[in-house]
Amino acid sequence: MSESGYLKILKDGLWTQNTGFVALLGLCPLLATSNSVVNGLGLGLATTLVLLICNVAVSLIRKLVRPEVRIPVFVMVIACAVTAVELAMHAFLPGLYTVLGIFIPLIVTNCCVIGRAEAFAFKNGVVKSAVDGIATGLGFMLALVLLGAIREILGQGTLLGQADLLFGEWGKGLTLHLIDDYRGFLLAILPPGAFIGLGCLIAIKNVLDARARRRAAAQPATVLQEAEV
Amino acid sequence: MMRFRTVTSPHVLLDASVGQVMRRVLYAMLPGVAALVWFFGWGVLVNLVIATAVALAAETAMLAARGKPLAPHLGDFSAVVTAWLLAVALPPLAPWWLTAIGVLSAIVVAKHLYGGLGYNPFNPAMIGYVVLLISFPREMSTWLIPHGVGQTQAMTLVETLRAIFVGLPEVDGLTGATPLDVLRTQMGLGLSVAEIRNSPVFGLVSGHGWEWAALGFLLGGLWLVYSRAADWRIPAGMLGGLAIISTVFYLINPQQYAPPWFHLWSGAAIFGAFFIATDPVTASATPRGRLIYGAGIGILVYIIRAFGGYPDGVAFSVLLMNIAAPTIDLYTQPRVFGARRG
C-alpha cells in the first residue's frame, strides 16, 4: 500500500468528500448540536470513535458476511458501537452527555456511519478502513466545530464556553469572552442560524475549491513558459 | 419644431416599469408614515433614513459583488421599498444597529443570496423583521407610548437621535406595550375584552394613534389598488379572511375574543394587506390564487394573534403563505381560452 493512498483517504475525509460540507450526510446532528464549539467537539469526537469502531469491525468481518445480509449486519454493528460510546460518555463526561442528550444515541442514524461501512470498509482492509473512519470522523468534527464557533461567537460572544463539560475543571479557564456585555444574536443559536451558517460555510468551501482549480489550471501554462525560457 | 411623443399600444393599460411601481408604493406609504410621525415622534423618520442608507449601501455592495450593473438595479427603488417597509414596522426608538441588522438580513440574505429582485421566494422586508423579532425580543417590543396617552412630553429630534445612537434613557412611562400586547397579557389575567378596552392605549376602534396610522395606510393602499400598482384581490382576500374568522370567534364568545373591527384596525393588518402581502415577486400570481393567498394570510394572522405566542402575526403569516404561493399557483391556473372545463 503506497503512502499516497492513505494521504488520499485523509484528504477525502477531511476536505474533498467532507461529510458535512460535500456529502451533506448527518445533517440532523450537524445542525442541531453545533450551537457551541464544545457541543460540536463532543459530538464530533463521539462520532469519530463510532466511525473508527464500525469501520474496523465491518472490515474485519467483510469476508464472513454474505452481501445479501450486509445492511442488517452493518446496523447491528453500528448500534453496538453507539451504545458502547454512549455508555462511556455517560460514565466519564456526564455534563456533556446531558447537554447533547438524544443526539448521542442518534449517531446510530447518522448516514455517514453506514455510508462509510458500505462504501469503504466493506471493500477495504482493516488499516485503510481505520484511517478512513478517523478521517471521515475528523472531517465531520471540522464541520461541527467551525459551525459551532461561528454560531457561538455570533450568538453569545464567547468561544469554548462550558469547556469544563469536556475537559474537566481546568477547561473553565479556556472560555474566551470575546465581546464584553454582548447582547447575543439569538438567531445564530436558534435552528435558522445553523442552516444559514452551514450554507455560508459550503459557499466558502466552494469558492476555495474553485480558486484552487483555477490555480491548478494555470500551473501547467507557467511551467511551460519557464521551460521555454 | 414638432415633437412626437411615443405612445404605447392602446391595449396596454399600464406603462409601469419596476421603478415606477416601487415609487408609487413609496408615495402611498406617506400618509401612514405621517400619522406615525405625529403620534410617535422623530424616531420613525430617523429609522427610515437609517434603513434607506443601509439598504442602498448593501444593495450597491451586493450588486458589485455579483457583477451586476449598478444603475438599473439601484434606480428601481426596490431596495428603498424594502427598507421603508421594514423601518415602518420597527419600534420608533429602535437602536441603530437593530435597523441595520434587519435591513442587511433583508437585502443580503433574503434578496441577493436568493438571486436578487424577482427570484426571492420570501418577502425580504418580512425576513428582516422576523430575524429581529426572534433575535432581539426585548428591543423589538419596546414601543413608545403614542402622543396623547399619559403625561409624556414629545421627544425632540436631538433626544431621539441620542436614544437611537447612544441608548434609551431609563425613563418610566416613555415606553409601553402595544395594544395587541396589552390585549394578550390582560387576557392572560382573566379580564374580558370589554374591560381591557378601557385601558388608555385604546382609542375609538383599536389602539390610540395606531388607528390613525392604519387609516393613513388604508388611504395609501386604496390609491395603490386604484392605480393598479397592487392587485385588489390580495388585500381583499386578506382583510376578508381576517374579518370572517374574527367574526366567527366573536360571535361564539364576545367576552374572550376581540371584535372583528378591532382586529382589522390593529397591528399591521391594514399595512400588511396593502403593502406587504401585495409584493408581486413573492405573492401568488393567478387571480384566484391571489384571493386564496390573501385569505390564507388573514386567517393565519388571526390564529397567531388569538392562539399563538406572538401578539401580531402578519410577518409570519406572509412568510408562511410565501412558501405556499407556488403550490397555490399550480392549482389555480386559469383555463386557457378554448380549453375544456374540468
Contact residues on chain A for B319, CB-CB shorter than 8 A: none
Q: What is the mean pLDDT for each group of 10 consecutive residues in chain B (342 residues)?
A: 59 68 90 88 89 93 88 85 92 88 92 88 92 85 68 68 72 65 71 68 70 89 88 92 93 85 85 90 90 94 87 89 92 82 64
Amino acid at A136: T
Which chain B residue is nearest to residue A186, measuring alpha carbons?
A: B135
**Confidence band (pLDDT; 50, 70, 90) for A228?**
very low
A-chain CB neighbours of B101 within 8 Å are 185
A183 CB neighbours in chain B (<8 A) are: 136
Buried b (16+ CB within 10 A) or exposed e, B18-38: beebbbbbeebbebbbebbbb
A176 φ, ψ to 5°?
Answer: -105, 125
User: Is the CB of B134 less than 8 angstroms away from the CB of A183?
Assistant: no
Chain B CB contacts of A192 below 8 Å:
134
CA B253 to the chain's CA centroid = 29
Task: Name residue B202's beta-bridge partners.
Answer: B207
Longest dimension (CA), chain A: 67
Which of A80-94, A115-129, A167-181, B97-111 has the least mean pLDDT?
Answer: A167-181
pLDDT digits (tens, 9 = 90+) for A44-78: 989 999 999 999 999 999 889 888 999 999 999 99
Taking the CA of residue B101 and the nearest CA in chain A, the distance in Å comes to 10
Q: Of chain B residues 95-134, which have a CB less than 8 A from chain A?
A: 101, 109, 113, 131, 134
Closest chain B residue to A197, measured at CA: B109
Give alpha helix (H) positions in chain B. Answer: 18-40, 43-65, 70-74, 78-89, 96-104, 124-135, 137-140, 157-165, 179-188, 193-196, 210-226, 233-252, 260-265, 269-271, 287-307, 314-331
Give the pLDDT of residue B229: 83
- The total of other beta-carbon atoms located within 10 Å of residue B194's CB is 11
Q: What is the ipTM of this complex?
A: 0.73
| CA–CA min distance B230, chain A (Å) | 31
Compute the distance between CA of residue B241 and CA of residue A222 in angstroms, rounded to an integer: 68
Distance from A192 to chain B by nearest Cα, in Å?
9
Contact A185 B134 (CB under 8 A): no
The reported pLDDT for the residue numbered B340 is 76
Round to whole Å and give the CA distance between A213 and A207: 10
- Residue B205, pLDDT score: 65
Q: Which of residues 45-84 of B touch A (CB under 8 A)?
A: none
d(CA B169, CA B180) in angstroms, rounded, equals 25
CB count in 10 Å sphere of residue A145: 20
Q: Judge contact between B263 and B242, C-beta under 8 A.
A: yes
DSSP calls for B68-127: --HHHHHTT-HHHHHHHHHHHHS-TT--HHHHHHHHHIIIIIIIITTTSTTT-SS-HHHH
pLDDT computed for residue A229 by the predictor: 43
Record: contact A196-B134, CB cut-off 8 A: no
- pLDDT band at residue A79 under the 50/70/90 scheme: very high
Q: Which residue in the set A183, A190, A196 is minimally distant from B109, CB to CB? A: A196
Residue in B135, B139, B142 to test binding to A, most A beta-carbons within 10 Å = B135
Q: What's the pLDDT score for residue B148?
A: 62
| Closest CA relative to residue A6, chosen from A117, A122, A133, A118 | A133
**Contact A157/A177 with Cβ under 8 angstroms?**
yes
Q: Phi and psi (nearest 5°) for A158?
A: -125, 170
- Please give the helix or strand (H or E) that residue A76 lies within, else none: helix A70-92
Across the interface, of B109, B134, B136, the residue whose CB is closest to A190 is B134
The minimum CA-CA distance between A39 and chain B, rounded to whole Å, is 21
Subunit contact B136:A190, Cβ cutoff 8 A:
no
Give me Rg for the CA atoms of chain B: 21
Residues in chain A within 8 Å Cβ distance of B131: 187
